[in-house]
Chain A
Amino acid sequence: MRSSLATAGAATFRHGVHPEELKDATAKLPVERMPFVGEYVLPLSQHTGAPAVPIVVPGQRVARGQRVATAKGFISTALHAPVTGTVAAIEPRYHPSGTRQPAIVIRTDPFSSQRIETEPPPPPDSMTADDVVRAVQDAGLVGLGGAAFPTHVKLKVPEGKRARFAILNGCECEPYLTCDHRVMVERAHDVVEGLRIIMRRVGAERGYVGVEVNKPDAIAALEAVANGDGVEVVPLKVKYPQGAEKMLIEAIFKKEVPSGKLPLDVEMVVNNVGTAAALSDLFRTGQPLIERVVTVTGTGVRRPANVLVPIGTPLRDLLEFCGGLSADTRQVILGGPMMGQAQKSLDAPIVKGTSGVLAFTEPVPLVREEACIRCGRCLEACPMILNPSRLAAMVRKEDVDGLRGLNILDCFECASCSFSCPSHIPLVQLMRVGKAIVRQAAKK
Chain B
Amino acid sequence: MSDASPRLDIATAPFLHRGLDTRRLMLEVLLSLAPVVVAAAWFFGVGALLIVAASSAGAVATEWVFHRGHRGHRGLGSLADGSALLTGVLLALTLPPSVPIWMAFAGGVVGVALGKTIWGGLGQNLFNPALVGRAFLQAAFPAALTTWTAPGQGFLDVASSTVAAPFAHGAVDVTTTATPLGMAKFEGKLTALAPMLFGNTGGSLGETSALILVLCGLYLLARRAFDWRLPASTLLTVAVVAEAMHWLDPQHNPGALFMLLSGGLMFGAVFMVTDPVTTPITPRGAWIYGLGVGVLVVLIRLYGGLPEGVMYAILLMNGATPLINRVTQPRRYGG
Contacts and interface: CB of A to CB of B under 8 A. Distances in A.
Interface of A: 17, 19-20, 98, 175, 246, 256-259, 261, 316, 319-320, 324-325, 327, 329-333, 335, 337-347, 358, 360, 363-364, 367-368, 370-376, 379-380, 384-387, 389-390, 406-407, 410, 413, 415, 418-420, 422-424, 426, 428-429, 432
Contacts of B12: 342, 426, 429, 432
22 contacts: A19-B18, A256-B333, A258-B335, A327-B6, A330-B9, A337-B14, A360-B15, A370-B22, A370-B81, A371-B22, A372-B123, A373-B22, A374-B123, A375-B25, A376-B282, A379-B281, A379-B282, A379-B283, A385-B332, A390-B325, A423-B123, A428-B14
A319 B1 CA distance: 9
Contacts of B21: 367, 370, 422-424
A261 B334 contact: yes
Interface string B239-274: 000000000000000000000000000000000000
Contacts of A17: 18
Contacts of A379: 281-283, 330
Given A20-B16, A337-B13, A386-B330, 20 more contacts: A17-B18, A19-B16, A256-B334, A259-B332, A333-B13, A338-B14, A339-B13, A363-B9, A371-B123, A373-B276, A375-B227, A376-B280, A376-B282, A379-B330, A387-B330, A390-B329, A415-B14, A422-B18, A422-B21, A423-B123
Nearest to A340: B13
A347 B8 CA distance: 13
B20 interface: yes
The secondary structure that dominates the A interface is loop
A329 B21 CA distance: 26
B176 interface: no
A419 B17 contact: yes
Given A347-B5, A422-B25, A342 B281 contact: no
Interface residues of B, number: 45
B122 interface: yes
Given A376-B281, A379-B330, A331 B8 contact: yes
Contacts of A324: 1
Q: Closest 7 CB pairs between A and B? A: A371-B123, A256-B334, A258-B334, A415-B14, A375-B276, A337-B15, A364-B9
B121 interface: yes
A420 B227 contact: no
Contact of A428 (B13, B24, B121, B123): B13
Contacts of A428: 13-14
B333 A320 contact: no
Contacts of A337: 13-16
B18 A419 contact: yes
B9 A410 contact: no
B274 to A, nearest CB: 10
A387 B201 CA distance: 44
B18 A329 contact: no
Given A337-B15, A340-B15, A371 B8 contact: no
A406 B335 CA distance: 12
A344 B276 CA distance: 39
A338 B13 contact: yes
B333 to A, nearest CB: 5
Interface string B10-47: 11111111101111110000000000000000000000
A344 B5 contact: yes
B320 interface: no
A353 to B, nearest CB: 14
B169 interface: no
A373 B334 contact: no
B6 A325 contact: yes
Contacts of B332: 259, 385, 407, 410
Given A337-B15, A373-B123, A331 B282 contact: no
B227 A316 contact: no
B71 interface: yes
A384 B334 CA distance: 9
Nearest to A323: B1
B333 A410 contact: yes
Nearest to A20: B16
Given A376-B276, A379-B281, A406-B329, A368 B71 contact: yes
Interface in B95-135: 121-124
A380 B276 CA distance: 14
Contacts of B286: 376
B74 interface: no
Given A331-B15, A342-B10, A385 B22 contact: no
Given A337-B16, A385-B330, A424-B21, A364 B276 contact: no
A344 B12 CA distance: 12
B16 A175 contact: yes
Contact of B331 (A332, A339, A385, A418): A385
B277 interface: yes
Nearest to A331: B9
Contacts of A338: 13-16
Contact of B8 (A258, A327, A339, A344): A344
